[in-house]
Amino acid sequence: MDETRRRDLEAVLFVADEPLTAAALGQVLDLPRPEVEGLLSSLAASLEDRGSGIVLRNVAGGWRLFTSGDALPVVERFVRSSRHTRFTKASLETLAIVAYKQPVTRHQVSAIRGVDADGVLRALTDRGLVVEVGREDSPGRPVLFGTTPEFLERLGLGSVSDLPPLAPLLGEAEEEEDDGAAPGADDPAA
């Protein structure tokens, strides 16, 4: 009986297009939440123990199946060879700004990037990664943008606080700039 319930749980998680809470799964499976939580733990352990290409994670407030990190090279090769749309450098830069600075206005994103961000923000909104989260309390009441649960899900994060700290990344960027600087670039007389 427990195997049947675990099989049913796995099937529901497989077809779900968003993370599912234990309570929602309990309603679908007609099981009490504590039993569903036990089944989730059992399924996650079973997938891990057998070295499955699929893992079960608790992300963005619910449970979702993901491909295993060990299968990353093969999955990357598949995704690159398929017709999946990739992110442009502009999209990645804009998404990073929104993720780390949220809530942020279109003007603030454009100022940080040094170019107009309207089209990129529109594309990220269309892809469901960025959403309007309110309006700034200033003249014109500009729209404030933030990331969505789908953003968290696609990055495998539980919350925005799980993003890596920005300071070490900035140090690496400064080192790269220093390495690529032209000789005498820091010299005002040059």
**Tens digits of residue pLDDT in 19-28:** 999 999 999 9
Full-model pTM? 0.51
101 and 63 in a common domain: no
Please indicate, yes or no, if residue 161 is contained in any of the structural domains: yes
CB contact set of 112 (below 8 Å; sequence gap of 6+):
97, 101
100 and 48 in a common domain: no
**Tens digits of residue pLDDT in 49-108:** 999 999 999 988 899 999 998 998 888 877 666 445 678 888 999 999 999 999 999 999
Query: Where in the sequence is the domain holding 109, given as residue range(s)?
Result: 89-176
Please indicate, yes or no, if residue 124 is contained in any of the structural domains: yes
Domain boundary among 68, 98, 119: 68
**Tens digits of residue pLDDT in 127-153:** 889 999 999 999 989 999 999 998 998
CATH (domain of 149): 1.10.10.10
114 and 158 in a common domain: yes
